[in-house]
Structure 1
Amino acid sequence: MSISHCFIRRDRYRISAYRLLIFLTLVSTMRNPGLLTRSYFFVRNAIERRTQTEKFIVSDKTSHDVLFSDGLMELRFYPQQDETPFVLDGDAIVPDQQQHRTPILLVPPLGVYHWIYDLMAERSWVRFLNARGFQVYLVCWGAPSKSDAGLSIDTYVNHWLSKAVEQVQEHSGQQQISMVGYCMGGLLTLLWAGAHDRGQIRNIVTIASPIDFHASHVYGKVLRWVKQSTRRVPIPEYFRDSQRFHVPGDILSVMFKMTNPLAGVVSYIDLVRNLSDRDYVTAHLTTREWFNNMPDYPGATVQQLIFDFGIKNSLADGSAMIGKHRSDLTSIRSNLLAFAGKSDNIVSVEAARKIMDLVNTEDRTFMEVPGGHAGVFAGGKAQEHTWTITADWLAQRSD
């Protein structure tokens, strides 16, 4: 079939769909307006979902200033957004007019975009923390490509996070800051603190961040077996090429979905059942964009995750070499709050809890909260648990 025929068929499809919309609009004023009106919106949303998906994507909308950029990475500042009460995920939020002294630096994972912290207006970490009286900053890791396969944890920790901390200190005028990291973002935060913190980091919050890789579900058992089987076997030259470990974003997306394949089916069924509700469709497609639109995972970073953190499980022993710097987790003195999701299929409770055995701070708290790997961070119960606990805990330690 030629391309012209494809365009003709697509146009005919749209014309037919619009005729159906007109028909439903007319009959919606008849005997059963409620049912027919819902049918109209069902069809309209179904068509727009297929033909104009971008209309439903509302992530990354909170106003911000870019303070610093370095290649792929940039640092954002989010000025206070709300001065009057507003509704956030069904709950009334009254903005705190008094600002806490200690600013917050949000650190996202690799393999996803920074806007998971600003998913939508009613499910936005930056807006929520802003309303709770915090100065909010956010690191963006950008979108690595195959040409960035050599990008390693050394760059993320020793260079980019160091720059981000310095910029937050300079912009806020405060010498001490708090850092909040989700998944790999929490791990990068801990690695930075273990290598560079000289009192700059007052508080650390980690959410579903793995430390003991051998304690995480099935793949943890596999890693333990590999370590025992290859203890005296040198790494073959073939595995030293970072290009071979580079993971494209579309492959990463499939791998993530495979951790809970049933969830995708249930989610789609729920979408069909609620297709007449435009707000529901917007929330569904925006959240789906998180899992369908993932950036590449740099090969050199994947190498260290597999060999050093995974097979050797070096972090469980308390330290790891990051470039030319040794990160010693036992040297961390910051106040620490660590979360784990009770039903997380990627990072087990035991894998996240290990940090409690390593840090030498008296003020450390570990929390198990409802949700899987994504739900513990941005699910329906996240604001009630993870978000509120984080804000309350930081508020007591930020003045």
Structure 2
Amino acid sequence: MQESLDKMLAATQKWAEILALDPWPETGKTPKEVVWRKNKSKLYHYYSDKPIKHRIPVLFTYALINKAYILDLTPGMSMIESLVDNGFDVYMLEWGNFEWEDRNLTFNDFVYKYIARAVQKVCQISQTEEISIVGYCMGGTMACMYAALFPKPTLRNLVLLAAPIRFDIGGTETRWLNTTFGNDVDTIVDTFQLVPKEFIDIGVKMLKPVNNFIGTYSRLWKLVEEGAPIDNWKALNKWVDDNQNFPGSSYRQWVRDFYHDNKLIKGEIKLRGNRVDLSRITANLLVLAGENDHLVRPLQAKAAMDALSSADKEYHEFPIGHGGLVFGKVAVKQVYPLLGNWLAARSD
């Protein structure tokens, strides 16, 4: 009895010390250099001592509300590292931390001034007129808007990871954004102007409150009690809590045009007066979704299969949640190899 009590007390002390005192682990360790900047955004080019085997460069685009290092979380659990190690020429567009002066940025800006220019820079550096884009979550949605509006440089391959394309068939987040938060979107934006990261963080976590506020820490307790490694837990928890502000003007667009009115799939989104017609996209298409994804339901992502005009297209669904496509055992053992093999067959 006393031995069990001592063990529990020791585990409790270690658990508390990890939460209160342990520094965050290093993330995003795949070697890279900044090759282009705009405002707070950076375009990273990854490098390795291994030769580049595939001619078509790969550009990652990510969501506006989280940090992109989830794509390069830790050595051995990094989608970017996996592609670099397999001979791909990899870039990533990181948005940076939005502040007060960025409050009026819209999707017009992100597509025309950021993604389009990043693509041009990638093609210039890699000396090619073709490119592959891998878009995760909202980054995939924006990649689709870019692809529909810019026929040149040629988009050879488009990979959408848990990217919402249809917005009227989601889960709790769709109901919330179409009612409570959605109906007050003007009040929220007019009040905050720059929607604070704390507002976004609590909203996302309340979609699964028990898991996010209790389950996360009970999993750490179990790891400590069993003497199991905790490095991956720490890295992931760092990312989960590392959100960023959302420019108010683009937040208003996201809620009203996408969630409220489902304009993307209808072909009613206009950027700089130009209609975003997804049927104009003919790039080779790979759509990946998580069966248990509570943020982007599989059908929301799968809608790209019919909306785009790609002749070469594949859809794969995995028994994981939203983040499981880019980190975790399923990602490492199934998603990374699938992505690498699919791109390799279409990148020469």
Work out the CA distance in 1 between the residues paired with 2:325 and 2:115. Answer: 24
User: How many matched pairs?
Assistant: 341
Deviates more, 1:273-282 or 1:297-306: 273-282
C-alpha distance in structure 2 between counterparts of 1:242 and 1:289, whole Å: 30
CA distance in 1, matches of 2:48, 2:54: 12
Which of residues 20, 30, 33 in structure 2 aligns to 1:62? Answer: 30
SS at match of 1:339: strand
> In 2, are the aligned partners of 1:371 and 1:379 still within 8 Å (CA)?
no
Off by >4 Å, runs of 4+ in structure 1: 36-46, 221-226, 238-245, 276-279
Are 2:62 and 1:108 equivalent residues in the alignment? yes
Q: Displacement of 1:266 after TM fit?
A: 2.6
Q: Summarize the Cα distance change of 1:263–1:37 in structure 2 as closer, same or farther, 3 Å threshold.
A: closer
1:316 maps to 265
Question: Where in structure 1 are there 5+ consecutive unaligned residues?
Answer: 1-31, 84-96
Supply the AA of the counterpart residue of 2:34. V
Q: Which secondary structure state, in structure 2, belongs to the residue aligned with residue 53 of structure 1?
A: coil
Q: Is 1:174 aligned to residue 122 of structure 2?
A: no
Q: What residue is the counterpart of 1:93 in the other structure?
A: none
152, 174, 197: which is aligned to 1:249?
Answer: 197
Partner of 2:21: 51
293-302 or 279-288: which moved more?
279-288
Between 1:145-154 and 1:128-137, the stretch displaced more is 145-154
CA shift, 1:45, in A, is 7.0
Name the SS of the counterpart of 1:309 in structure 2. helix
Aligned-partner SS, 1:381 = helix
Indicate yes or no: 2:335 matched with 1:367: no
Q: Structure 1 residue 395 and structure 2 residue 344: aligned?
A: yes
Q: Aligned ranges for residues 211-250 of structure 1 at < 5 Å?
A: 211-220=165-174, 244=192, 246-250=194-198
Shift of 1:37: 11
Who is 1:155 aligned against?
109
State the TM-score, normalizing by the size of structure 1. Answer: 0.78
CA–CA distance in 2 between the matches of 1:130 and 1:42?
Answer: 40
SS of residue in 1 equivalent to 2:279:
helix
**2:79 alignment counterpart:** 125
1:212: how far off? 1.0
Which stretch shifts more, 324-333 or 202-211?
A: 324-333
Structure 2 unaligned residues grouped into runs of 5+: none
1:242–1:303 CA contact under 8 A, matched in 2: no
- Tell me if the contact between 2:269 and 2:276 (Cα under 8 Å) persists in the aligned partners: yes
Return closer, same or farther for 1:276/1:64 CA change in 2, 3 Å cut-off.
farther
Instruction: Quote how far apart the aligned CAs of 1:173 are.
Output: 0.9
Counterpart secondary structure, 2:329: coil
- Cα-to-partner distance string for 1:302-361 (whole Å, 9 max, x where unaligned): 111111111111112134112333222110011111111101111111111111111112
Contact conserved, 1:42 with 1:277, CA < 8 A, in 2?
A: no
Helix, strand or coil for the counterpart of 1:338? strand
Query: Distance between the aligned counterparts of 1:392 and 1:42, measured in 2?
Result: 44
Q: Which has the higher contact order (CA 8 A, sep 6+)?
A: 2
Which residue does 2:246 correspond to in 1? 297
Matches of 2:178 and 2:7 in 1, distance apart?
Answer: 58
Contact kept in structure 2, 1:149 and 1:242, CA below 8 Å = no
The answer to whether 1:76 aligns with 2:38 is no
Q: What pairs with 1:79-90 in structure 2 (closer than 5 Å)? A: 79-80=47-48
Aligned-pair identity in percent equals 27
Aligned residues of 1:250 and 1:292 also touching (Cα < 8 A): no
1:203 equivalent among 131, 145, 157:
157
Mark the CA change 1:98 to 1:159 in structure 2 (over 3 Å): closer, same or farther.
closer
Q: Which residue of 2 aligns with 1:280?
A: 229
